[in-house]
Amino acid sequence: MNTIKQLLKSTLFFLLLLGSIAGQGIYAAQIEVSVDRNPVSIDDSFQIIFTATESPDAAPDFTPLEEDFTILNQGQSNQSSWVNGKASKTIEWTLNVLAKKVGTLTIPIIKFGRDHSELVSVTVTQGDNNKAANTDADLFLDVEATPASPYLQSQVLYTLRLYRKVEIAQAQLSDPELSDAVIEKLDEDRNYVTKVNGVDYSVTERKYVIFPQKSGKVTIKPLILTAEIVVNARHSFNGFFNSTQTKRVASKEITLDVKPAPASFTGSHWLTAEQLEVKQEWSGDFEQMKVGEPLTRTLTLLAKGATVGSLPELNTTKTDERLKTYPDQPILKEQKTTDGLLAFREEKIALIPSKTGSYTLPAIKIPWFNTQTKKMEIATIPETTITVAAGASTPTVSANPTTTPQPSTATPIIQTPTEPQTSNWLWVSLFLALGWLVTVFYFLTHRPALPVVIAKDDAELSLKDSINQLKKACVDNNAIAAKNALLAWGMAKFGVTSLGAIADCCDARLRDEILQLNQVLYAKDAPVWSGKKLFQAFVENKARAKMTVVGNDGLEPLFRL
């Protein structure tokens, strides 16, 4: 009897367990997987859609997709309805993705807790990056660089054009990349409409200038555009809406053949430009100077198609010891135009003669290489002769100061003052005394706060001193001295105490040079360090910082046609 009862209990437990398992199978959420199109290009995004007719066991884990696909964005929508007394519910997850490789890819099983989706395959084809020749392309990039065979450190104009006949919701475009080069974006983007083989396109044009810093063949990497394209309205549970499709296009790569400085160039400072002009101005008449009176000489160098860091110093010659010179800090500027960069350098020198005579200032000669004519030229300020005369005369003393005055019978010039005169002088003295007291009171109550001015001057002197030390260290190729000067400059300028922190506060080129110096200092077998590139990058960084603070005040046209 007991055996029968145990058998019945076991049977009942088995049936309950079987019913439970069957019930789970009946009520498990069914999750379908689909794609909006198949096949797809590796350059085009597409949608993977997961649809469930019941609430799944848990939220989905889409991590397995990341092995073969890049998930750009994802969304979820819900729909509930009641038809003929029967309720229905649909949940949809939509993922916008890009394939990572070409071939037949499998959308893996995605788990929704204890529920899961099924395997689905999609075919990914090779993209076509050379769409500029295809007028059916909705979106393509075209790039060009001129000249294709530039000289070392000369200007290359790099132009990008984005052609489109579709609406773009948003887009992201990479910048041109080239190692050992200075790259600057020019002006604002231009927008216009054009025809390509009879087809209307909207065009966005962007220009850069590139100054290669080493000779040989160098390659500008392709630019990559990732754009959200507005596609046709799509039906959803909540009505119709405009959806977007992510599209990725690439430009062609461009190879430059950079030529070194030609052997025919005999200047000590390699300087390239499309046009160059040097001139001098005076604050007065240099042919009629006076002893002890200052006169300011202003030297200006303008170059089209060059950076400020490439411009040489102008006031390098020594003058007569009797002619004292006091140079100011040079003014450096860069102006961006549609044709490239205009570089500007100005030096002001105060001259004070100590003796009369004629003084000759040597000619200033700037050798430079004209990239238009492919020839060396010399910009010259001719030899200048200044003439110095005696300064303003001082009060003279009698020719015979020791001679005793002889008595005279003539009426004396200085007469004994009368009583009324004495009274007038008394009032005048009282008035002057009162004025003096008022003046003293005013200056005592309105004098400036000297400590602030002194602190500012000390900071400026500290910056100038560290810059001069850095320049000397770079000229001497002294890496340790350059490090110490940079640390002093960084502390005064940014309040930081390491080369790495200073590098983070500078533009890309100076940052790279500082990090290179840091690597040389601590490398076991460090090569011989040259400070020329570091100081050139430092000068350009200072010029661009001034442009940011002052703003583009505009330079006068460099050349009048």
- Whole-angstrom distance, CA of residue 159 vs CA of residue 205: 7
Residue 239 pLDDT grade (very low, low, confident, very high; cuts 50, 70, 90): low
- For position 538, what pLDDT does the model report? 86
136: its two tokens: 């059916």
- Whole-angstrom distance, CA of residue 560 vs CA of residue 115: 77
Q: Does residue 293 contact residue 323 with C-beta atoms inside 8 Å?
A: no
Mean pLDDT, the chain, integer: 79
Spatial neighbors of 313 by CB under 8 A, at least 6 apart, are 330, 347
Amino acid at 452: V
Strand partners, 70: 98
Residue 555 pLDDT grade (very low, low, confident, very high; cuts 50, 70, 90): very low
Calculate helix-pair angle for 508-522, 479-493, nearest 10 degrees.
Answer: 130
CATH of 131-258, one of 2.60.40, 3.40.50, 2.30.280, 1.10.287: 2.60.40
37: its two tokens: 């199109």
In the chain, what are the domain boundaries?
27-125, 131-258, 272-389, 452-550
- Whole-angstrom distance, CA of residue 466 vs CA of residue 461: 9
pTM for the full predicted model? 0.57
Q: Which of 559, 76, 59 is nearest to 305 (CA)?
A: 559
Q: Return the DSSP state at 506.
A: S
Q: Kind and range of the H or E element at 70?
A: strand 69-83
pLDDT value at 476 more than 50: yes
Architecture of domain 27-125: Sandwich (2.60)
Q: Does residue 57 contact residue 115 with C-beta atoms inside 8 Å?
A: yes
- Whole-angstrom distance, CA of residue 25 vs CA of residue 311: 80
Per-residue pLDDT reduced to its tens digit, 347-369:
999 999 999 999 999 999 999 99
Q: Cα angle vertex 539, ends 268, 511, to 5°?
A: 115
The pLDDT of 392-411, averaged and rounded, is: 38
Q: Which of 110, 132, 145, 376 is nearest to 261 (CA)?
A: 376
Q: Cα angle vertex 246, ends 245, 252, to 5°?
A: 135
Amino acid at 268: S
- For position 535, what pLDDT does the model report? 86
Residue 437 pLDDT grade (very low, low, confident, very high; cuts 50, 70, 90): low
Residue 429 pLDDT grade (very low, low, confident, very high; cuts 50, 70, 90): low
Amino acid at 224: I
- Whole-angstrom distance, CA of residue 256 vs CA of residue 230: 37
- For position 127, what pLDDT does the model report? 66
The more confidently predicted of residues 262 and 44 is 262
- Whole-angstrom distance, CA of residue 287 vs CA of residue 295: 11
3-state SS, 116-175, equals ECCCEEEEEECCCCCHHHCCCCCEEEEEEEECCCCECCCCEEEEEEEEECCCEEEEEECC
- Whole-angstrom distance, CA of residue 271 vs CA of residue 43: 43
pLDDT value at 417 more than 80: no
Per-residue pLDDT reduced to its tens digit, 270-318:
999 999 999 999 999 999 999 999 999 999 999 999 999 999 999 988 8
Residue 545: CB atoms within 10 Å: 13
The more confidently predicted of residues 163 and 395 is 163
Per-residue pLDDT reduced to its tens digit, 46-104:
889 999 888 888 889 999 999 999 888 888 888 877 766 677 788 899 998 889 899 99
* Three-class secondary structure of residue 360 per DSSP: strand
CATH of 272-389, one of 3.30.70, 1.10.1060, 2.60.40, 2.60.310: 2.60.40
Q: Rounded to the nearest 5°, which phi and psi values hold at 479?
A: -65, -40
Residue 380 pLDDT grade (very low, low, confident, very high; cuts 50, 70, 90): very high
Q: Which of 300, 246, 213, 275 is nearest to 69 (CA)?
A: 246
Find which of 17-31, 392-406, 464-478 is predicted with most confidence, using mean pLDDT.
464-478
The answer to whether the 131-258 and 272-389 domains have the same CATH topology is yes
